[in-house]
Amino acid sequence: MAGAGLFRVVAVVLAALTLALPILGGPLAGTSLGVSPYLANIVGQIATFALLAIALDLVWGFAGVLSLGHGLFFALGGYLIAMHMLKAGYVHQGVVPDLMTFMGWTELPVHWTLFESFPYAALLILLLPGLVAFAYGWMSFRSRVSGVYFAIITQALTYVAMLLMFRNDTGFGGNNGMTGFVSLLGMRMGDPSTAVWLATASLAATLAAFLLCGRLVASPFGRVLVAVRDDEARLRFLGYDPVWPKLAAWTLSGVLAAIAGALYVPQVGIINPRSLSPELSIEIAVWVALGGRGTLSGAVIGATVINVLKFWLTGFAPDLWPFILSGLVLLVVVGLPNGLADLRAPRLLRLGRVRHDP
């Protein structure tokens, strides 16, 4: 595979960052080589976006299943970790969460039971999004809902979840969402070291997901996924039931997106229903499309490039962002169907050759 070299480069960079950040942001912080907590936080956020993009690339780039609703899984992970942090703060530090105050609750409802336990919350972060993904995927793939119909339903489902979460009565903080986190696993929010450790954990998770997915797609299972993408009917008439490989990739993808959400929320300090808006879900697809589908490294590069650009721009020209994002989409659609990967094999040359062909 042509992308094998690039894959190795991305893996090495991710590994180097994972190892270097605790040192650069720890003992070396404040020196000329040091990394500020602010920068560490941005690196950590971008790492979770890269993880989210890897999750989407696994199903879209390899199995050809486009989701425009991966924000759903991301938000699920985010809400679950937020519930853990609020409950733990309430139980251990006596900090009353805002949503209890404005809902007029004297205690947290029954579905918050046990959330002060991190292992319990962590288990739910893996199980609940996995279950949601499995149930939705099972229904869709079995009834052979695919392509654009599948994509539209994923978006509608995420939109429904957003409307639901906007209601205060749903009991997850409504419009305001959840914020005011005190600590996570004994690390106080707002401490410089917390920012560095959360960012390091995000990088490590992204690296792990990158390597895991890399192994998966290089295995025969990965070839089955590609076969699903290229010609699902042919695969069926070769004796495979495409439902199962699709469902396996889809469920894993949902879980990875939830992990990304659970790492993201402590770093930004808030989760609200806007994570469920179509904007985020569509943006994930743009990251993957720009980086190049079906390579995994493209997903990491696309998510990084676009978000670095976004962080930089929102500093002085936030109004320009939608135009730049749309411009990038147009660029991919018109000029770079394989994303940035096309820049290596000049497309203009290839176009020229096609024209000369009779």
CB of 127 to another protein, least distance (A): 19
Q: Decide if residue 234 touches another protein (CB under 8 A).
A: yes
Rounded CA separation 7/159 (Å): 34
Q: Write down the least CB distance from residue 302 to another protein, Å.
A: 20
Candidate segments 20-28, 100-108, 238-246, 297-305, binder of another protein by CB under 8 A: 238-246
Cβ proximity to another protein: between 87 and 229 the closer is 229
Beta bridge partners of 188: 183
Which of 84, 87, 229, 293 forms a contact with another protein (CB under 8 A)? 229
**Residue labelled with tokens 């192994």:** 215
Site string for another protein, 278-307 (x = CB under 8 A): ----------------x-------------
Question: Are 144 and 138 in contact, with CB atoms under 8 Å apart?
Answer: no
> Which spans in 237-291 are helix H?
243-268, 278-291
358 binds another protein (CB under 8 A): no
Among 102, 147, 241, 279, contact with another protein (rule: CB under 8 A): 241
**What DSSP element (H or E) covers 184?**
strand 183-184
From the CB of 216, what's the least distance to another protein, in Å?
A: 8
Q: How far is the CB of 239 from another protein (least distance, A)?
A: 4
**219 interacts with another protein by CB under 8 A:** yes
Interface mask toward another protein for 245-274; x: CB under 8 A: x--x--------------------------
Q: Which of 65, 231, 226 is nearest to 149 (CA)?
A: 65
Q: Does 237 bind another protein (CB under 8 A)?
A: yes
Which contiguous run of DSSP H or E holds residue 117?
Answer: none
226 binds another protein (CB under 8 A): yes
Alpha helices of the chain — where are they, by DSSP H? Answer: 4-24, 37-57, 71-88, 98-103, 118-142, 147-166, 192-218, 220-236, 243-268, 278-291, 297-316, 321-334, 347-356
